[in-house]
Amino acid sequence: MRYAYTVAQTRALENATMATVGEATLMQRAAHGLAGRAADLLARTRGTVYGSRVMIVVGPGNNGGDALYAGQRLARRGCSVTAVRALGRPHPDGLAALLAAGGRLVDGGGLSVDDLAGVDLVVDGLLGIGGRPGLPADVLALTAAATVRGLPVLAVDLPSGVVSDTGQAPSGSVHATRTVTFGCYKPGHLIEPAASRCGRIELVDIGLDLGGTVPALAAWDPDDVATHWPFPGPTSDKYARGVVGLDTGSDAYPGAGVLSTHGAVYGGAGMVRFLGAQRSAEIIARDLPNVVFGDGRVQCWLVGSGWGERADGDRAVADRVASGLPLVIDADGLRHLPDRLPGTVLLTPHAGELARLLQCERGDVTADPVAAVRSAADRTGATVLLKGATQLVATAGTETVEVAVPGPAWTGQAGSGDVLGGLCAAVLAAGVGARTAAVLAASVQAMTAARFVGPLPPQELARHCATVIGELGRGPGGRRGEHR
């Protein structure tokens, strides 16, 4: 699990540490870690650190300070280090240290992409957590040219231009091949589109004491998924694995009923009971003979996928809420929410559906998805899974937002959300809480898609989810997994 902290939290953590060790020490720790990672990268790409040419693009703040002190260390190891003054006045002590070690300073204004000839590494020390979006065009042209030439671009703390707290990455932001961050991860490292601008992320310990601070985000990795997945035990029967009841699909959208059923079946439900649209039922009966269609015992409901307009939608949702059973409300079901829901109910909107729920624009959700998902959970009382490139889960009254394991962009296709609803219901039916169930289901779907290099229709991906779940159960994390 990786935990991320907002800019305000990071500054408070840094201040607390600085109060005991001093500001200079913290920056030296950051510079030491940064120089070490830069040297590793040079050793790997060039075979040697000595004699490498390093260009450090610096801004006016401490981010540039880190980069300049790292430059000093690289110069001492025999690198030829050029600092490019790109924004404002560079950190004076950091600059003096670099110059004393034999580095040089040039003005960014007169620089062209030709100046990249012979450079082995570009270090982006323009802006860190104090940055605002919007970088000068000539600076961006330089870092973009480095990317085009295939040069490694090492971002200090964050790729400059991205928004640390929200994960926004305006087109004018640096594209790094590697990011070295200090003390703790920031949301921008974990949320798209900024996350993809970071390349591989390395965390340098600078002695921050994270113990007393509740993180803004908790990002899961495949081992966490294996640890928490409800694998069946030796004596589990179909009720231990759980019965999923589905009221999904419509005559207009029968496929959604079929796909949500695939999600529940291949997500490992002990039994799937389909009580949705007739046209969906006909296809399911042909393709999935294990699914049952009559009334009977249910341990988790999934409603809403593919409903379209549904005149009795309010009552259909209210009845399922009244059952007190774990419940997933997806897609068109989200149009029929009562004012207040218990946290055991899981809502699975995409950005457009979340915007409608919050009565704002879709762009407001994508501009700050963490705030939006948190706000939806607080307003409804439910647990909310925001689907998309980064899948976030929030529960009312809980500060930390969970981030599912990310997957490839191919997952974004019609029908993926229906399958995901079914996967969520399968995990909930096994007795896992809504928050954890949502992260597990979203993660497994993403991990499954990550196995394929191209597009695969959602029903096929659903089948492959079963393989991924099975393999998780065989791995070291899986042996620690909970039995149902």
Ligand X SMILES: NC(=O)C1=CN([C@@H]2O[C@H](COP(=O)(O)OP(=O)(O)OC[C@H]3O[C@@H](n4cnc5c(N)ncnc54)[C@H](O)[C@@H]3O)[C@@H](O)[C@H]2O)[C@@H](O)CC1
Q: Annotated binding site for AMP: which residue ranges?
A: 417
- The answer to whether the CB of 79 falls within 8 A of the CB of 114 is no
- The answer to whether the CB of 331 falls within 8 A of the CB of 307 is yes
Per the annotation, binding residues for (6S)-NADPHX are 62-66, 157, 256, 306, 350, 418
Assess 30 for contact with ligand X (CB under 6 A): yes
Question: Whole-number minimum distance, CB 428 to ligand X, in Å?
Answer: 40
x-or-dash string of contact with ligand X, 445-484, rule CB under 6 A:
----------------------------------------
Question: Whole-number minimum distance, CB 158 to ligand X, in Å?
Answer: 6
Question: Whole-number minimum distance, CB 197 to ligand X, in Å?
Answer: 15
| Binders of K ion in range 158-177 (CB under 5 A) | 160
x-or-dash string of contact with ligand X, 341-360, rule CB under 6 A:
--------------------
x-or-dash string of contact with ligand X, 185-214, rule CB under 6 A:
---------------------x--------
Distance CA 404, CA 446 (A): 8
Assess 364 for contact with ligand X (CB under 6 A): no
Q: Which of 97, 156, 275, 439 binds ligand X (CB under 6 A)?
A: 156
Assess 23 for contact with ligand X (CB under 6 A): yes
Q: Which does 352 bind (CB under 5 to 8 A by kind): ligand X, K ion, none?
A: none
Distance CA 340, CA 298 (A): 23
Assess 61 for contact with ligand X (CB under 6 A): yes
DSSP letter string, 405-471 = PP--GGG-STTHHHHHHHHHHHHHHTT--HHHHHHHHHHHHHHHHTT-SS---HHHHHHHHHHHHHH
Q: Which of 94, 108, 131, 421 binds ligand X (CB under 6 A)?
A: 131
Amino acid identity of 421? G
Distance CA 92, CA 78 (A): 22
The nearer residue to K ion, 94 or 407, going by C-beta atoms, is 94
SS3 state of residue 365: helix
Q: How far is CA 46 from the centre of its chain?
A: 32
Assess 224 for contact with K ion (CB under 5 A): no
* Number of residues forming the site for ligand X (CB under 6 A): 26
Distance CA 344, CA 336 (A): 17
Q: Which does 224 bind (CB under 5 to 8 A by kind): ligand X, K ion, none?
A: none
Q: Which of 83, 122, 156, 449 binds K ion (CB under 5 A)?
A: 156
481, two tokens: 């997994």
Closest C-alpha among 130, 124, 168, 128 to residue 142: 124
* Helices 458-474, 416-429: crossing angle, 10 deg rounding: 40
Question: Whole-number minimum distance, CB 215 to ligand X, in Å?
Answer: 18
Q: Which stretch binds K ion (CB under 5 A): 16-24, 150-158, 451-459, 463-471?
A: 150-158
SS3 state of residue 355: helix
Distance CA 318, CA 124 (A): 54
x-or-dash string of contact with K ion, 118-147, rule CB under 5 A:
------x-----------------------
Assess 79 for contact with ligand X (CB under 6 A): no
3-state helix, strand, coil split of the chain in percent (to 5) is 45, 15, 40
Rounded alpha-carbon distances, angstroms, from residue 76 to 48, 180, 261:
14, 20, 63
Assess 132 for contact with ligand X (CB under 6 A): yes
* Neighbour count for residue 398 (Cβ, 10 Å): 16
The nearer residue to K ion, 55 or 156, going by C-beta atoms, is 156
Secondary structure letter of residue 22 according to DSSP: -
Distance CA 238, CA 226 (A): 21
The nearer residue to K ion, 126 or 449, going by C-beta atoms, is 126
Question: Whole-number minimum distance, CB 61 to ligand X, in Å?
Answer: 2
Q: Which does 124 bind (CB under 5 to 8 A by kind): K ion, ligand X, none?
A: K ion
Distance CA 320, CA 339 (A): 15
Q: Which of 13, 35, 87, 272 binds ligand X (CB under 6 A)?
A: 87
Q: Which does 304 bind (CB under 5 to 8 A by kind): K ion, ligand X, none?
A: none
Site residues (CB under 5 A) for K ion? 124, 155-156, 160
Site residues (CB under 6 A) for ligand X? 14, 23, 26-27, 30, 59-64, 66, 87-88, 127-132, 134-135, 156-157, 182, 206
